[in-house]
Amino acid sequence: MLGKARGIDVRHHGSGRTGAANTLRTLGLGASALAFIGDFSKGIVAVALARLLVGAPVVEIAAALCAIAGHNWSAYIRFRGGRGVVASVGALALMSPLVVGVGAVVFASVLAISRYVSLASILASTSVPLALAPLVYVGLVPIEYLAFGLIAAVLVTFQHKDNLERLRTGTERRLGESTESVAGR
């Protein structure tokens, strides 16, 4: 919607995804920040409503997974969308803010070292179940949240399969790198 307001369909540029990272590359920082807020809100609102209306962790994770699926495969845009990273973070923000912090540190560290947003997203999402496991073990969070962390990590990784292939072949773009500089490698 942000791109369409400017006459640009982000699905026809960059990765073709509708999330914050492709919005950053296509429309710039301001539009990307708005996309991030919208994507984050999808996850947090789904969990908040489930918690308010039902209050059961299994319903919270079902609502979160529905929000992520709707983001990744939106019926409104021919079952295309984003990769589910930020929607997952929004959902997790209510489930375990501490684990969001762990994921954020992993994301920022990997991004600072590699400048690959895709790699940072995958490694941050896979760090979530690892960070949740001890919290479940000591009884600080319900085991259903660990199930969510595992499923979300699989979904995020699956949605990055094209990025994984480009990482393998050395053609993945780094943050701030133009398409031309990758083609010239």
3-class DSSP string for the chain: CHHHHCCCCHHHCCCCCCCHHHHHHHHCHHHHHHHHHHHHHHHHHHHHHHHHHCCCHHHHHHHHHHHHHHHHCEHHHCCECCCCHHHHHHHHHHHCHHHHHHHHHHHHHHHHHHCCHHHHHHHHHHHHHHHHHHHHHCCCCCHHHHHHHHHHHHHHHHHCHHHHHHHHHCCCCCCCCCHHHHHCC
Query: What is the pTM (predicted TM-score) of this model?
Result: 0.88
- If you average pLDDT over residues 68-83, what whole number do you get? 91
Q: Give, in order, the Cα–Cα distances in Å from 72 to each of 20, 80, 125, 158.
A: 13, 6, 15, 11
Confidence of residue 163 (pLDDT cuts 50, 70, 90): very high
pLDDT at 26: 84
pLDDT band at 178 (very low <50, low <70, confident <90, very high): low
Q: Would residue 179 count as lying in a domain?
A: no
Distance of CA 97 to the CA centre of its chain: 16
- Residue 185 located in a structural domain: no
pLDDT digits (tens, 9 = 90+) for 2-36: 666 777 788 888 787 888 888 888 888 888 899 99
Q: Note whether residue 145 is domain-resident.
A: yes
151: which 2 tokens? 């499923």
Q: What is the pLDDT of residues 116-126, one digit of tens each?
A: 999 999 999 99
N-to-C CA span, the chain: 34
Mean pLDDT confidence for 159-178? 90
Residue 41: inside a domain, yes or no? yes
Tokens matching residue 164: 């994984």
> Dihedral of CA 147/131/92/84: which sign?
negative
Structure tokens at 93: 């923000």
Task: State the residue range of the domain holding 99.
Answer: 2-170
SS3 74: strand
Overall domain count for the chain:
1
Judge whether 45 lies within some domain. Answer: yes
pLDDT tens string 39-68 = 999 999 999 999 999 999 999 999 999 999
Check residues 15 and 70 and name the one with the higher pLDDT: 70
Does residue 176 belong to any structural domain of this protein? no
Instruction: Grade residue 69 by pLDDT with cuts at 50, 70 and 90.
Output: very high
Residue 139 lies inside a defined structural domain of this protein: yes
Dihedral angle computed from the Cα positions of residues 182, 39, 85 and 17, in that order, rounded to the nearest 10 degrees: -40
For residue 181, is it within any domain?
no
Question: What is the distance between the alpha carbons of residues 178 and 175, in angstroms, rounded to a whole number?
Answer: 9
